[in-house]
Amino acid sequence: MSLAVPASHSFLTTDGLSTDLFSMPTELTVSEAAAVLDVPEGGIIEMLKLRILGHRQEGTRRLIDRDELLAYKRKYEEGKAILDEMAREDQEMGLYDV
């Protein structure tokens, strides 16, 4: 018997390959989180400072909850899709013609 993982339980890595969510650790380092979001590590650190993402400190390591990170990514992508659609509609209506 095999377990089928729904597409919603996978994520796209920076090299464009889809990876099973369950193969990810439950907590990610700053560099791992940066790879998931495809942003520089400094961006993740700023997000932690601004409390956009929560984390826990273990010695000098900052560990970010996988599920919280993926929820943030999902919300970001939904917002980006909405803005892209708005820009496309504005262009179709000629609002940006010069």
Query: The domain that contains 63 carries what CATH number?
Result: 1.10.1660
Q: Which of 40, 26, 42, 33 is nearest to 73 (CA)?
A: 33
For residues 35 and 73, is the Cβ–Cβ distance under 8 A? no
pTM of the model: 0.67
Rounded mean pLDDT, 2-22: 49
Q: Total domain count for the chain? A: 1
In this structure, of 5-14, 24-33, 66-75, the range with the lowest mean pLDDT score is: 5-14
| 12 belongs to a structural domain | yes
pLDDT tens digits, residue range 30-83? 999 999 999 999 999 999 999 999 999 999 999 999 999 999 999 999 999 999
| 52 belongs to a structural domain | yes
| 78 belongs to a structural domain | no
Q: Which two tokens stand for residue 63?
A: 């560990």
pLDDT value of residue 8: 47
